[in-house]
Structure 1
Amino acid sequence: MPSPLFADRPAPQPTERGTVEALIDVTRRMRGDMDAVRRDTVADGDDTLWRWRRALCDLAVHHLDELGGHLDQLRAGRPAGAMDEAPAGGALTDSRTTDDGAAAGGVGSGEWNLLTDEVSWSDELYRILGRAPERGPLTLDELPSLVFAEDEALFTTMVTECLIDGRPMDGELRLVRADGQLRTVQLTGEPVLDTDGCTASMWAVVRDISELRRGERALRESRESLRQERRMARAEQRLAAELREAVLPSRQGSLRLSGGGAVALDLAARHLSSSSNPLSGGDWYDALELPSGEALLTVGDLTEQGVAAASSLAMLLGAVRGMAVAGIEPGPLLAHLNQLLETSRRPALGSALCGRYDPVSGSFAWAQAGHPAPLLFRDGTGRALTPPDGVLLGATSGAAYEQADVQLLPGDLLVLHTDGLTRAGGADGAGTGAERDRLLALAPRLAGARGARECATVIAEEFGQAERTLDACVMVARIGD
């Protein structure tokens, strides 16, 4: 069966020249575009994802380079060199040079004549196998010395089936060059039969696919790293959510206080999760009935995320509850929290609002640390309370926090929330003007609600429909009759 790869035997004619030129132009344009994409693929904080993208780009560029080299050979119509002068049975001399003289790939060929023991290699095959041309080619008996130990059995089977059974060869092998480099090659070949149908020689084409396999391996590794990172992120997200659920009070429950039987306080809260950042979660709220009969109301937001935020949250809420039970007022309480965050092993920033409601007098004393002010709804209208001075927790040492008091009346509704609800902080701490007005515009609906739980549901439905970039908490306190 004569080989179609040798010039002295019949071979199919190449594709019409104009078509090949067009393919070459397309490939070069794609190569340039791919280079631009690779240059634009910069690290963006997610190192694993960047490595995966880079590996994909490198693999695509390698494929395009190989395609360009093959098209150049196809355009040439036959391998470069004096093939017309080659004797029958001579080896293929590869064309691996583009118009600008740059190396264009790694495909070599050789033929082993079983009748004369002659061996012919192309120049490229010497380069692929790392053997100096002056040393001459290797015989079939010497070739196994280059094959990686684990692939020797496969190589022996391929050659035996080719020579004895007359089967074509097509397989992937690893070779160890004289310089110690491990190369991966695609070995393709077939026996050349004489007039009696016996095997006279064996020819083979050796394609160096080391860079291709290296790129594929890098892609697999980076893809697996990305999968592992995502699995860890999901596990961290679940752990953070479980910690939050264990620390925060029930979102659906309500707390009713009746200190001295005078006034009842109805409380409800909601947490709105971010759709774009599942590991966010520094927003928190808390409500606690104190031994004095007063109610502690707090909301806040830590800059940390995930498990770190949940861990800091547990520490912070424990400190808030302990100081509140000890009778510390909201202003001094925030000052102690500021010192706690500043001196912790893992410093963090945070905003917070802390208030104490006295159901006997109806007084609400509160302080804030860089946090949106509460909204007071009364008689079908709403307004933001004027915030006392206070800086972010953890921002500066020895910070003092002013305290304000407001008298609440039966039927009043107090809404405490984190800045994620109104998306940005405004000058007065109540959020952006448009979003704050949108929240205040809910006053008629809130006035008609039957309780704090229904009010919290109205707010959550209004602000939870759109895609959220930040977590948010909202707590509603309704003064009963």
Structure 2
Amino acid sequence: MPSHTYADRPAQPPEPGSVDALISQTRRLRGDVDAVRRDTVVDDDDAQGRWHRALCDLAVHHLDDLGEHLGQLKEGLPPAPEALDLSQPAAAPETGADGQGRVGSAEWNLLTDEVTWSDELYQVFGRAPEQGPLPLDELGSTLFAEDRPLLTTMVTDCLVDGKAIDGEFRIVRTDGCVRTLHMRGEPVLDQDGCTASMWAVMRDVSELRRSERAVRETLDSLQRRRQIAQTEHRLAVELQEAVLPSWRGSLRFPHGSTGALDLAAHYMPSTTSALIGGDWYDALELPDGTSMLTVGDLTGHGVTATSGMAMMLGALRGMAMAGIAPGPLMGWLNQLLENSVQPALGSAVCCRFDPATRTLSWAQAGHPAPLLFRGGAGRALQPPEGVLLGATTGAVYGQAEERLEEGDLLVLHTDGLTPRTIEFSRTDGAERLLAMAPRFATARSAQDCLRLVVEEFGETGREDDACVLVARVGA
């Protein structure tokens, strides 16, 4: 075949040593990325993990391609045609994971109608060499119908206007397999500057495009999950704010009564997570002049937990207003949780305080006992019998009584004050609260005591949210 004149001349080949160094670097990088890919553990619900794995797969495909191209560059250009500017064909066929050729070359001579295909291109198309190469006007018969106009446009622009070809299309091989090919080509000019033939390199990029598609799909899934999570978080916050008491600062009731309670409460969100849990606190003045105090926690997070919390707190308020004592009230809450659509477990403490006698009646369901501070010392009240809400059918809850004195401080809290994993050198939430007894003794109000609690626990690495309610017995 006579030598052709090309629109662009190839650059001088690089030094072999520099190519060897690039190949070594590529292999090391490929190994590192593959190690990261193997170490990425993905489950069905981990959208971000699937995205990371898809990115690693795509990076591995790119590095495989880079390594193969550098190997071709090291081997040198094929003997004919001599001046190819695409740096694509190699002396040895490039094969993919399925053993099929991935890159092949072709030339269509417009003067003699001669068609030349490399052996690799037959593998790309799944075509037997004895069938011969496809003429240019028959090449489109292997394409998807919607991709044929693109091939026609590229070939026309190349032959008529001398433009380079660079595009992708899908073919259906003779074995029925669908592959995506990237075609790059250019016109070959004769001595008079007229188009004599067209040279092209076709690369099977099916696996590469599949990896890119997997990255896009997993990223879209991750973004959708994030949007859903943001929406659920907003709904959970709004529901929590609507249900928990709206009073800020101190609250005092019963009004105009001796032994009235000075109250303050605070919700403390998790410092390690944006998830909203099912914690609650409440204080309520009852029709008979007594007061109801409660804190509690439902398992779970998000809208499900906060909606369950709203149901429990609403039921608790209604039964307290109806005069049901703390022990029986816990039994009804247990039955309510058993029959709810969303099964869950809960812990709670419910107290009723009579200012006339300064008597505290209380019950608990698997919950930390109230802490009583008096005269600069503190202790946990002895808890009556009570299992977690929703843990067993027909559970019976005991009820205990405690006589309070003027100036006594009562602290109710949920168990999320401290991290779940406690170091041996640290104490749990109740012990740390009891250690604050001397500081509580110098505080002038329930709000001052609450401020001390928030300062003590506000910056710890809590994995869960928590609620604290402080009640001080007045004169």
- Residue 448 (structure 2) pairs with residue 454 (structure 1): yes
Equivalenced residue count is 466
- Residue 36 (structure 2) pairs with residue 37 (structure 1): yes
Report if the CA contact (8 A) 2:19-2:74 is conserved. Answer: yes
Q: Identify the range of structure 1 (129-138 vs 351-360) with the bigger mean alpha-carbon deviation.
A: 129-138
Distance change in 2, residues 1:142/1:400 (3 Å) = same
CA shift for structure 1 position 179: 4.1
Alpha-carbon distance in structure 1 between the residues aligned to 2:164 and 2:129: 27
Corresponding position of 1:95: 92
* 1:182 alignment partner, one of 173, 178, 182: 178
Alpha-carbon distance in structure 2 between the residues aligned to 1:93 and 1:257: 89
Q: Identify the range of structure 1 (257-266 vs 183-192) with the bigger mean alpha-carbon deviation.
A: 257-266
Q: Identify the range of structure 1 (352-361 vs 403-412) with the bigger mean alpha-carbon deviation.
A: 403-412
CA shift for structure 1 position 97: 5.0
Report if the CA contact (8 A) 1:330-1:403 is conserved. Answer: yes
* 2:245 alignment partner, one of 234, 243, 249: 249
1:11-160 aligned at under 5 Å gives the runs: 12-44=11-43, 46-79=45-78, 83=79, 95-97=92-94, 103=99, 106-160=102-156
- Residue 465 (structure 2) pairs with residue 465 (structure 1): no
The CA deviation string for residues 153-202 of structure 1, in whole angstroms up to 9 with x for no partner, is 33222212211222222223333434444332222111111111111111
SS in 2 for 1:187: strand
Corresponding position of 2:469: 475
1:236-315 aligned at under 5 Å gives the runs: 236-250=232-246, 252-258=248-254, 261-315=257-311
Report if the CA contact (8 A) 1:66-1:104 is conserved. Answer: no
Alpha-carbon distance in structure 2 between the residues aligned to 1:342 and 1:88: 80
CA shift for structure 1 position 276: 3.0
What RMSD in Å do the two structures reach over aligned CA positions? 2.9
Corresponding position of 2:400: 404
Report if the CA contact (8 A) 1:161-1:167 is conserved. Answer: yes
Corresponding position of 2:367: 371
The CA deviation string for residues 74-124 of structure 1, in whole angstroms up to 9 with x for no partner, is 222234xxx47x8999x96752358x9995961111101011100111122
Q: Which amino acid aligns with 1:452?
A: A
Alpha-carbon distance in structure 2 between the residues aligned to 1:169 and 1:422: 65
* TM-score (normalizing by structure 2): 0.90
SS in 1 for 2:136: coil
1:389-468 aligned at under 5 Å gives the runs: 389-424=385-420, 433-468=427-462
CA shift for structure 1 position 461: 2.7
Q: Which amino acid aligns with 2:265?
A: A
Corresponding position of 2:329: 333
Q: Identify the range of structure 1 (161-170 vs 15-24) with the bigger mean alpha-carbon deviation.
A: 15-24
- Residue 208 (structure 2) pairs with residue 212 (structure 1): yes
Report if the CA contact (8 A) 2:72-2:89 is conserved. Answer: no
Alpha-carbon distance in structure 1 between the residues aligned to 2:204 and 2:411: 70
The CA deviation string for residues 377-399 of structure 1, in whole angstroms up to 9 with x for no partner, is 22333322222232211122222
Alpha-carbon distance in structure 2 between the residues aligned to 1:101 and 1:382: 71
* 2:157 alignment partner, one of 154, 161, 174: 161
Distance change in 2, residues 1:26/1:196 (3 Å) = same
Distance change in 2, residues 1:88/1:213 (3 Å) = closer
Q: Identify the range of structure 1 (397-406 vs 143-152) with the bigger mean alpha-carbon deviation.
A: 143-152
Alpha-carbon distance in structure 2 between the residues aligned to 1:101 and 1:301: 54
Q: Which amino acid aligns with 1:22?
A: A
Q: Which amino acid aligns with 1:297?
A: L
Distance change in 2, residues 1:381/1:92 (3 Å) = closer
Q: Which amino acid aligns with 1:423?
A: P
The CA deviation string for residues 443-475 of structure 1, in whole angstroms up to 9 with x for no partner, is 344333342233223312321123431111111
Distance change in 2, residues 1:390/1:197 (3 Å) = same
SS in 2 for 1:469: coil
SS in 2 for 1:250: coil
Report if the CA contact (8 A) 1:68-1:104 is conserved. Answer: no
CA shift for structure 1 position 38: 1.8
Alpha-carbon distance in structure 1 between the residues aligned to 2:101 and 2:31: 18
Alpha-carbon distance in structure 1 between the residues aligned to 2:447 and 2:83: 93
Q: Which amino acid aligns with 1:56?
A: L
Unaligned runs of 5+ in 2: none
Distance change in 2, residues 1:181/1:242 (3 Å) = same
Alpha-carbon distance in structure 2 between the residues aligned to 1:181 and 1:46: 32
Alpha-carbon distance in structure 1 between the residues aligned to 2:43 and 2:439: 44
Q: Identify the range of structure 1 (102-111 vs 142-151) with the bigger mean alpha-carbon deviation.
A: 102-111
SS in 2 for 1:391: coil
Distance change in 2, residues 1:319/1:425 (3 Å) = farther
Alpha-carbon distance in structure 2 between the residues aligned to 1:72 and 1:105: 15
CA shift for structure 1 position 302: 0.7
Corresponding position of 1:346: 342
Q: Which amino acid aligns with 1:52?
A: W
* TM-score (normalizing by structure 1): 0.89
Distance change in 2, residues 1:323/1:425 (3 Å) = farther
Alpha-carbon distance in structure 2 between the residues aligned to 1:319 and 1:468: 29
Alpha-carbon distance in structure 2 between the residues aligned to 1:94 and 1:141: 28
SS in 2 for 1:376: strand
Distance change in 2, residues 1:101/1:296 (3 Å) = closer
